[in-house]
Amino acid sequence: MSTVVVTGGTGTLGREVVRHLVKDGHDVVVTSRSATPSVWDSARTVQVDYRSPGTLRTAFEGADAIVHCATRVSGRRGGDVDLTGRVLDAARHTGCGNLVYISIVGVDRIPLRYYRTKIEAERLIEDSGLPWTILRTTQFHQLVIRLLNALTRPPLALVPDLSVQPIAAAEVGARLAELATARPAGRVPDMGGPEILAVPDLARRYLEAIGRHRLVRPIRLFGSVYKGFRAGHHLAPANASGTITFQEYLNARMRSPR
């Protein structure tokens, strides 16, 4: 049995990592900015201030591995970079045996501002002197749903003429739990969803599922970011290891109580 700390363990992905670790019998510590307890009774929740090295060191004490899922999208250096640096400092102090980081397919090829912070955080980890593992994945189903919800609010839904490869957070959580309890592996193969689908098609499926009537019009955008997405740099067709399709996720979401 390993002791694993999950930063951001109350978030969408963090909860899934915790669930799989608990199921496999590991000692799990969840770090969170709030005192909200983990939904898993056997996991311990520790409230931390990610700006305070002391609280992080206390939370990381005795950990065999740390799965770093906490994220921050604002801040002078992009948020994630500062946050990851503080996590690394605390992990070095406590002698962590494996720092596992979740990243995004295409962060090194698409000049999106948030992606630049993710690749900088990756490089901090690689140069940290700690044993590390980095997994890049395609977009979660939940993110695609949020995007579609925003795009289809107007009567005329203008939808980017792009493709995505959505993946279930539950399956990514299972993979991260597996990596956390194995030997540090460096950059592991990317992980993508089972299908590559056009966003306009997903928008129509989403609208049908929620009963919202909109005209969907695909549009082409401009700029280097859009060019990178058009080139498919955010996709992992050779690593389509996810099994839960977008339609399956959408159907389950519609059936679940709100």
Mean pLDDT of 9-27: 94
Residue type, position 125, single letter: I
What is the DSSP secondary structure assignment for residue 38, as one 8-state letter? P
**Alpha helices, H only, 61-187:** 80-94, 113-126, 141-151, 169-180
When pLDDT is cut at 50, 70 and 90, the band that residue 257 belongs to is: low
Give me the torsion for CA of 117, 140, 142, 46, rounded to 10°.
-60
| pLDDT tens digit sequence for 177-218 | 999 999 999 999 999 999 999 999 999 999 999 999 999 999
pTM given for the model: 0.94
Beta strands per DSSP E along the chain: 3-7, 27-32, 44-47, 65-68, 99-104, 132-137, 156-160, 163-164, 186-187, 197-198, 215-219
Which conformational region is residue 170 in: left (phi greater than 0), alpha (psi within -120 to 50 degrees), or beta?
A: alpha
When pLDDT is cut at 50, 70 and 90, the band that residue 22 belongs to is: very high
Give the per-residue pLDDT at 75: 46
pLDDT reading at 74 higher than 60: no
When pLDDT is cut at 50, 70 and 90, the band that residue 78 belongs to is: low
CA distances from 222 to 31, 104, 225, 226, 227 (A): 40, 22, 8, 6, 7
Rounded distance between C-alpha atoms, residue 81 and residue 121, angstroms: 5
Give the per-residue pLDDT at 173: 98
| pLDDT tens digit sequence for 30-68 | 998 876 666 667 889 898 988 888 899 999 999 999 999
